[in-house]
Structure 1
Amino acid sequence: MQILNYYPICLDEIEAKVAKKMKRNSTQKCEDVEPLDNVKEITNRFGEKIIRVDGEIPVDLPINNEDRFLFISYDQSSLTHGLHKYPAKFFPELPRWLIKRYSKEKDLVIDPFTGSATTNVEALLARRHSVGIDISPFSRFLAKVKVTPIDEEELERCKKRILRLLVNYRPDKVAVEDIPTFPYRDNWFNKEIILELAYIKKCIENLDTNDDVKDFFKICFSSIIRSVSNADDNCTRTVIRKRLNKVVNPSDALRRFAEAILTNIPKMMEFSNLCPKDITTIFPGDMDARNIKYENETFDLALTSPPYANAVDYPRMHQLEAYWLGFANGSLLPLKKKQVGTESVTVKEYKDLHLIGIEEADKVITRIYNKDPRRAYIAYKYLLDMQMNLKEVYRVLKSNGRYIIVVGNNKIRGEIFENWKYIIAMAEKTGFVLENYFASEIIKHFIKVPREERIDTDWILVLIKK
């Protein structure tokens, strides 16, 4: 492979940049948080009354059906929550509040769509055992790292070793066998970046330490991959947009990785110091949300934010990370087909109209079918998968246990698809009783979503098994 450019990195400059950024974030948080009287009523531009909560949500916060809340989060990047970007994830204050409100210490909590494991991290810190289920091996790997405490001295020792290796990088230290092969690799990445990423991964794998420490550094490595690729950093799909004129320079991977470990190690240390030693968190690899291989009445609480119909293609979103971490090396189609809300459907499947048996949902599906049979089937299949999930969670929940679902609406071919209403109807058919429901306004996303598909409100459904 021809080397076009190579620039060494300066650790002093990187450390100064990270220190300045961390100081700025710390100052902003201290200025913004209102420790007293952080709950107040406001009026939005439509004249609707909204209850605004800044920061920590009081456990005994009064809730009435159809209440609308605006939760202002300050913890999205705190502890291990900020190790890696992940689309449409929980902000930590929400599951923290719901876990403390609806369970007690040593209870067993399940998140059947664990994603980036925000529920599991918060359950662990609240001294609840938990299980996280996700069909994505990348998600399970990220989740495992986020709940695994690491010895501070060992982390510091390995950090020093890694930083020395980064400073001493030369392209000729990378062998051909160090570079992974995957579809369109040389389109996704510049030649210099491929060598730098291969070198970083090799350095991590050669560390004289345990797997937990290596895995932490692999997640730091994964967290920079999209930013040093030629793909759009802020799109839910991994695509190259030439009009963005994205510039990636030689040494960017080395520099960004150094920044990532300097930023993330303090977060991991803080988490490790807070992490209880007698609480278990498990991410089984042989289950999904429609097939939970636990005995009846095992769990005290279920809490999740499922994917939306026709929304985020998670395998494609994380495909570059999966390739570099070794979770994939070819077509993503088999994994995409397993996803709830998948868009990978065949003509044979969507040729005919399929209905779910919920009158309000079927009317919308029919209107979508008249415009786009494929999208109509995707919507139907999403509800069918959620129906299967509701039945499984109902089975594994203890009597009087709750299933809390945080879900929003979206548009499919111009039709409002009110997921939360359809899920309530299916849940009641399954045997759940709707105890409460209320809205959480969404004020920002880290990912760009087309305006016509944007989700502005999440609905929080509190279902109880009677």
Structure 2
Amino acid sequence: MSYYNISLAQIRKNVEKRKKKYIEDDSFLFGKDEYSIGILKEVKNNFGEILTRVDGNIPTSLPIETGQRFLFISYDQTRGSHGLHKYPAKFFPELPRWLIQKYSKPGNIVLDPFMGSGTSNVEALLLGRHSVGIDVDPFAKFLTKVKTTKLDVEELEESTDFILKSLIKYDPKKIKDTDLPIFPYRDNWFDKEILFELAYIKKLIKNSKYSDNIKDFQLISLSSIIRSVSNADNNCTRTVIRKKLNKNIYPSMALTKFAETLLLNSYRMREFSSIIDTDISVEIPNDNDARNIKYPANYFDFAITSPPYANAVDYPRTHQLEMYWLGLANGSLTPMKKQHVGTESVSSDDYKILHKIEVEEADIVIENIFKKDPRRAYIAYKYLIDMEKNLREVHRVLKKKSKYVIVVGNNKIRGYNFESWKYLMKLSERIGFKVDNYFGSEIIKHFIKVPRDERINTDWIIVLEK
């Protein structure tokens, strides 16, 4: 009998309801050559501007005029391995799917130098393109590895049944203090009962007889519930406890949430694993950086990315609880933060004086920001310096005539519009790229909480050619 009297029958019933809704959405021909074609129509946004709305998959033949604005409606953000784990400010799958089809061929090698949650790599794999995903963030690398790894379906089902049957045998007496991870403010982030439940689940996974691929998948499923069973706000990129939130955390919550998540994720991975080609490779190197790509010149056929933007998401802080539980971090996150492009971890010595990037439009904005906030001005400048390094590296490793597509948002810094896309086009031309095209993708949903006046309303898609 379970310590909490957990009902597996009820858990399975709950998951079947969620799975039914998932299956009924037949707008997506997942993994098939004959992708469903999106529905196109013209719409007006709140400012009276005319946009081309595309629902679902984006046709490769879609005509694009320079500067045109689109409204892309995604239906596939939780399909297959895309839905394994939340990740802030990530690609919606239809966009890289379209661009990979448009600018590369089956068997080509695709690069994403800021891979984040690996959406481009998943789509490249499904489309028969080899890919390389680069990121300095250890959580991004681990998540992408899981999302792009084919699992043995029989082992997946057997291991899922084993975990579920073990969950109902939960007893906190089976957990010792040495089983609990040690990290800053742990007992503030988690109630004691939840700590023991999470430790029990992790111990089950680690000590099972199953393959490392299965264990990694189960650990990502565990990671995906960490925030929801913690005392932190579920919807804020900064991991914070809000006293007014009145979050309802109760004993057995981690066990039941994990059981439901594991069942649904197992379904996703069965779907995904049944359609991918094992001859297509996904490389996730450990020692690369978007500013230092350790691949030969003229190696890649196509590159696509959605880089961070200045003064925006603090990825290590966003995933700190998950990384602590996965053993990917311990103690201070500052050294990790400093590695990221767009980081706010800068030294006071760096921003004592005004720095310029030698792009007139950017330097005017940076100087205006400097008058209000020298630190933010330096963060903006450093972002463009780092992005210029990335542009140089991608230019080097791309084959001649190949495309580099950058999807980038703009934001406000101290009240000034920081139009990254315009500055990146100037920088790219400076180092030898030709701007082939650019167009806008209107954003209608914000899955992350940032100050209202700093929200991004449009992503700009820049198509560069070597």
Classify the TM-score, shorter chain: over 0.9
1:440 touches 1:459 (CA, 8 Å); kept in 2?
Answer: yes
The 2-side partners of 1:362 and 1:157 are apart by: 59
Partner of 2:203: 202
Query: Tell me, which stretches of 5 or more residues in structure 1 are unaligned?
Result: 1-5
Determine the C-alpha separation between the residues in 1 that align with 2:407 and 2:446. Answer: 16
Q: Is 1:240 aligned to 2:241, yes or no?
A: yes
Question: Is 1:13 aligned to residue 10 of structure 2?
Answer: yes
Deviations 1:294-334 (A, max 9, x none): 11111010100000100000000000000000011111000
Whether 2:144 is the aligned partner of 1:143: answer yes
Alignment partners' CA distance in 2, 1:291 and 1:334: 18
Q: Deviations over 1:373-427 (max 9, x none)?
A: 0000000000000010000000001100111000010000000000000000000
Residue 298, structure 1, aligned to residue 299, structure 2 = yes
Structure 1 residues 37 and 85: alpha-carbon distance in aligned structure 2, compared to 1, 3 A threshold: closer
State the SS of the aligned residue for 1:292.
coil
> Cα distance 1:375–1:300, how it changes in 2: closer, same or farther (>3 A)?
same
The alignment status of 1:326 with 2:323, answered yes or no, reads: no
Give the CA deviation at 1:25. Answer: 3.6
Q: Structure 2: which amino acid aligns with 1:211?
A: D
Per-residue CA deviation, residues 317-358 of structure 1 (Å, 9 max, x unaligned), is 000000000011111000000100000011101111111110
> Partner residue of 1:91?
92
SS in 2 for 1:274: coil
1:370 deviation in Å? 0.2
Partners of 1:29 and 1:74 within 8 A in 2: no
Q: 1:114-157 deviations in whole A, cap 9, x for unaligned?
A: 00000000001100000000001111000000000101110000
Contact 2:229 2:249 in 1 (8 A): yes
The 1:36/1:328 distance shift into structure 2, 3 A limit, reads closer
The one-letter code of the counterpart of 2:156 is L
2:77 maps to 1:76:
yes
Q: In 1, distance between residues paired with 2:37 and 2:43?
A: 17
3-state DSSP class of the match of 1:350? coil
Aligned mates of 2:194, 2:25 — CA distance in 1: 34
Q: CA RMSD in A?
A: 1.6
Alignment partners' CA distance in 2, 1:312 and 1:320 = 16
Residue 377 of structure 2 aligns to a residue whose secondary structure is helix
Q: Give the Cα separation in 1 of the matches to 2:36 and 2:429.
A: 39
Deviation at residue 12 of structure 1 after TM alignment: 1.3
Equivalent pairs counted in the alignment come to: 460
CA distance in 2, matches of 1:8, 1:322: 30
TM-score, normalised with respect to structure 1 = 0.97
What is the aligned partner in structure 1 of residue 258 from structure 2?
Answer: 257
Q: Deviations over 1:249-302 (max 9, x none)?
A: 111100110011111111101110111111100000101100000111110101
Residues 173-216 of structure 1, C-alpha deviation per residue, up to 9 Å, x if partnerless? 11122111011100000000000000000000011111000000
Unaligned segments of structure 2, at least 5 residues: 29-34
Q: Which amino acid aligns with 1:218?
A: L
Equivalent position amino acid for 2:234 in 1: D
Identity of aligned residues (%): 62
Over residues 21-53 of structure 1, what are the superposed CA-to-partner deviations in whole Å (9 max), with x where a residue is unaligned? 22234435669xx96771111222322111111
Q: Distance in 1 between matches of 2:330 and 2:319?
A: 13
**In structure 2, the residue corresponding to 1:347 is in which secondary structure?**
coil
Aligned-partner residue type, residue 20 of structure 2: K
Q: Secondary structure, in 3 states, of the residue corresponding to 1:45?
A: coil
2:172 maps to 1:175: no
Alignment of 1:333-344 (within 5 A): 333-344=334-345
Question: Is the Cα–Cα contact under 8 Å of residues 38 and 57 in structure 2 kept in the other structure?
Answer: no
CA distance in 1, matches of 2:45, 2:137: 38
Q: Contact 1:8 / 1:251 at 8 angstroms: preserved in 2?
A: no
1:399 aligns with 2:400: yes
CA contact (8 A) 2:311 2:342 kept: yes
SS at match of 1:58: coil
SS, match of residue 248 in structure 1: coil
| Cα distance in structure 2, aligned partners of 1:427 and 1:343 | 24
For residues 112 and 127 of structure 2, the distance between their equivalents in structure 1, rounded to whole angstroms, comes to 15
The amino acid of 2:205's aligned partner reads I
Within a 5 Å distance, the mapping from 1:81-120 to structure 2 comes to 81-120=82-121
Q: Which moved more, 1:333-342 or 1:6-15?
A: 6-15
* 1:224 alignment counterpart: 225
Could you say which residue in structure 2 is the equivalent of 1:271? 272
- Kindly indicate whether the alpha-carbon contact (under 8 Å) linking 1:8 and 1:169 is maintained by their aligned counterparts in 2: no
| Corresponding position of 1:190 | 191
Partner letter of residue 448 of structure 1? K
Structure 1 residue 445, shift from structure 2 partner: 2.5
Of the structure 1 ranges 40-49 and 147-156, higher mean CA displacement relative to structure 2 is found in: 40-49
What is the match of residue 440 of structure 1? Answer: 441
Query: Matches of 1:380 and 1:298 in 2, distance apart?
Result: 30
Q: Tell me the amino acid that sits aligned with residue 289 of structure 1.
A: A
Return the alpha-carbon distance in structure 2 between the equivalents of residues 92 and 406 of structure 1.
Answer: 13
Mapping 1:375-454, distance limit 5 Å: 375-454=376-455
Aligned to 2:310: 309
CA distance in 1, matches of 2:264, 2:294: 38
Provide the secondary structure at the position in 2 that maps to 1:348.
coil
Letter in 1 for 2:12: E
CA distance in structure 2 between the aligned counterparts of 1:22 and 1:209, rounded to whole angstroms: 25
Shift of 1:246: 1.0
